[in-house]
Structures are given as C-alpha cells and as structure tokens.
Amino acid sequence: MSGIGYFGPKRKPGYEEQPSINPSFLKLRLPFYHYPIEYQDFIQGMILACVPLGITSIMQSALNFPIEVAVLMVMLNNFFYLWHTSFGDPSIAGWITPGIPIYTAYYETFSKDIVGPTGVYIERTQALIAAQLVLAVIFLILGLTGLGSTFVERIPTSITAGILLGSGIASVERIFNPAQPFVKDLPISFLVSAALSLFLLFSKRAIAWRKRNKILAWIGGFGIVPGFAIGYILGLITGEIKLDLAKVTSKLIIDMPFDRMINEVSVFGVGMPSAIMFGSGFAVALVAYIIAFGDFIVLKALIKQADEARPDEKLVVPIGRSHIICALRNFAEGLFLPYPPFLGPQWTGGQALVVQRYMHSTPEQEYTYWGGATSIFWGMSIALMLNPVVQIMLPAKNIGLGLTLLIQGYLCSYLAMEMCENNIQRAIAGIMAGALIMANYVALWKPIFGMYSSFFSAPAMGLLVGIVLHILIEREPGAPKKKK
C-alpha cells in the first residue's frame, strides 16, 4: 500500500465505503487512522501552493489589504478546505473562480475614500462581507431543504452541458487573452509546463507508459508537478521568473498577524454592512451560486468516473452535505476573513489531479480516495505556513493558476460534449456557453435597475438563455421526463 501511516479500520471486500468515525451525515475521517498520507498528493499540494497565492493581487488592488494579512488569510482558507474531505464530502474544494471578475467589479463600485488605519477600503470590504454572508445563507437553505440536490438532479442535459462548456471556454479564454499574464509574461515557462501537464494527465500514450513502467508511474502520480517544475526552471533561466533569495531566507514561518486581520479586515474591525449592502449583495451572491451550481455538476461527473473506475471502493457525492459545508465556510470567513473569490464546492483542477491518480491506481498503489483527496490540502496548507515556500512560489503563482484553468477548460469541454445525446442538446449548449461568457448587461442596464444590476451579469443571462432555448426547442410537450 502506498501512503504513510495507516493503522485504522479497513473497508470490507467489495463495493464499500471507507470506514469513518460517524457513519451518519458528517462522516469524520482522521489522518493516519482512516486514511494514509499520500506523499505524492502531499508534495503536489505543497508545490501548488502557488495557486491560492494568486488571489493576493486582488486583495491588494481592489481592497487594499496588507500583504502580510492577505497571505495569512490564504493559509487559513486552505485549512477550511479540509472540512470537506474530513467530513465525508469527496470535493476538492476551492473558489467560485469564473465569477471573480464580476465580484471584483462589484466591490469596486463602492468608495475607496473611506479607509482604515492601514488603508483598507472600508466600504468595499463591507460589500464583500455582505455578499459572502448572503451566499452562506443561500447555500445553507438549499442544503437543509434538499432543494440544492433537487436542482442538480433535475437540470436538463443541454443546460448542464452549457454550464460546463461555458466554464471550460471561459477558463481557456482567460489563459490565451493577451491582457492576462500567462502567455504575455510567461510565454516559455507556462506553455512548456502546460503541454507537459496535459500530456502526463490525459494522453493515452502517457497512461499506457505509466502502466508498463514503474518509474513513469511514479512520476505520473505527481500530476502537474513535473510540468510545473520544468516550467519554473525554464522561467528562472529565461528571466520570466525572478527569485529574491533574501526574502526566501529571511524567516522560517510566515508572519501571522491575527490581531491585524480581526481589527483591520473582519466585520469586527470594519463594522457590519448596511441593509442596502445586504440587498445589493444578494444579486452578486445569487450569481456566485449559479456558477457554483456548475461546480456541483462537474463534481458529480468526475466522482462518477472515479467510482466506476474503482469497483473496490464506493464513492458518493452528498450534494446537501456539500452545500452545508460551503455555507459554514462562507459564514465563518465572511465574519473573520472575508475572501474575495467566495468559497465553492470544487477546485476543478485539483479535483482532476486527485481523480486521475485514483482512477489509474490499483488499491495497492492508492488504497482509498480519501488519502489523496485530503493529503493534497494537508500539503498545501502546511506549505503556506512556511515562508521559504511562500517566497519561492509567489513569483510563479501565475503558472500554477494557469495550469488549473487549463485543466478546468479541458475537463469541462470534454464532459460537456460527452453528455450531450443529440445535436439539439449540443447546439443549445454552444449558444448557452457563449451567453455565459459574453452576455454581461450590467453596465447597459445599471441606470434602470440600479443596485440590482448584478442580476444581468453573464452567468445569470447565460442560465436564462439556456432555460428559454430548452423550453422553445428541446422540451417536448407532454413527453414523460427521463430519469437521469
């Protein structure tokens, strides 16, 4: 068995779930006792610490958070990710990523003239807090009532595919957009690492080589790490990445200014948002949930693939449980460390890495899904506590972020095409994807609809287009509903 330190109960032979302390709703699993630490996923998580550090640029530019506080918030947020896999949700949690430009534009509509002692923009931070707390309530209500699970189960295939395809194209568009830093600033290091990562993860040739060669199987188990490492080295050689050794060797542990975080950026420091902020924040939170809705769909599709590939372990996706954990994360962080990208059920790039390794491993190579799924965040969270790791990764944060976007684009695109059963569904998915990316009428209709203009952002409009096309073109009057 791969992994380090496992002495707890093992599952019964056959198609069974991995044991847990509490077999009911929240299935607590502890490291070493219920799953081993998979060192490959742990190391991969440490290297991928460059990805969450990318949000510090928005924290500084849009909200003027001090960098020391921003890095601490990133580290704490990563420990919150462990709530999912530690309590029985197979999700590799993450941001609600595609909507980040929408959220940022919303915060920036508020004043930056009212500042705290260190220059934090008070009104913008309050707007973030309000929207994140409203989002927590949406997740909680839909999770407790079971409506979230119903929405995911009942959504038509064409709309599901449209959400997936739109998310995939939006991710790829961002990578190749000349205004973004990936190809513009890192043409050699990023493109080489991207090509190698896609080859190692998805190439039939690479998968066949891994099955025949133990060394290649071991290298392939690290996912995008080999590609990232080679890209990083090329970046240093070409000068695309600049490393400040003085910062790397200055200390071992990052600064942890908890008092500053509470006093400068939390609700206890900047004050409770106004009723108007909660009202306008509802529209932004609803848009965020619409995007997160797509993450639930992708999560179910990926876990279904993993479950079918490994008949020795049963994997289920409890949508209600995932909703409730997302609600708790957004509520806790909304109060103490408001997080600009919001907190959703899945980091698609990380989910793909964990699922791919699990699918192509035997029980001897990776005994349980929960070992890899949890180890990746143990590695990332611990790495973000170490100043040398943080200072080494910060210059390459756009390589890691770009790779996750690329993997999300690849997976979402092929899953969308795979689930469509006919040309009508494919056509609706294509049109809906275009609307999801481009149909942003916020600026056009803001003078008419005022603070509720966020309802007319691209995600909401894309979903509306998909529903209308499904009713007009695909849905057959009086036809019995197919059980999905």
- C-beta separation of 404 from 153 below 8 A: no
Q: What's the pLDDT at 406?
A: 87
Q: Along the 484 residues of the chain, how does pLDDT read in single tens digits?
A: 567 888 888 888 888 999 999 777 788 999 999 999 999 899 888 888 888 888 888 898 889 999 899 999 999 999 999 999 999 999 999 998 877 877 887 888 888 888 888 899 999 999 999 999 999 999 999 999 988 877 767 888 898 888 888 878 888 888 898 988 889 999 999 999 999 989 988 888 888 887 888 888 778 777 788 888 899 999 999 999 999 999 999 999 999 999 999 999 999 999 999 988 898 888 788 878 887 887 888 898 899 999 999 999 999 888 889 999 999 999 999 999 999 999 999 988 789 889 988 998 888 889 999 999 999 999 999 999 999 999 998 888 888 888 878 887 888 888 888 889 999 999 999 999 998 888 877 667 655 555 445 567 677 788 889 999 999 999 876 655 554 4
Secondary structure class of 35 (helix, strand, coil): strand
Q: What's the pLDDT at 24?
A: 72
Closest CA to 69 of 331, 266, 344: 266
Helix (H) or strand (E) holding 483: none
Q: What's the pLDDT at 451?
A: 47
Q: What's the pLDDT at 455?
A: 64
Helices (H), 108-180: 122-145, 147-154, 157-176
The total of other beta-carbon atoms located within 10 Å of residue 28's CB is 13
Q: What's the pLDDT at 443?
A: 66
Q: What's the pLDDT at 404?
A: 78
d(CA 370, CA 31): 9
d(CA 114, CA 129): 16
d(CA 125, CA 270): 7
pTM metric for this prediction: 0.80
Helix (H) or strand (E) holding 334: helix 319-336
271: which 2 tokens?
């004050």
Q: What's the pLDDT at 296?
A: 87
Q: What's the pLDDT at 454?
A: 56
Q: What's the pLDDT at 446?
A: 59
Q: What's the pLDDT at 148?
A: 80
Q: DSSP for 228-295, please give it.
A: HHHHHHHHHHHTSS---HHHHTS-SB----HHHIIIIISHHHH-PPPHHHHHHHHHHHHHHHHHHHHH
Q: What's the pLDDT at 412?
A: 82
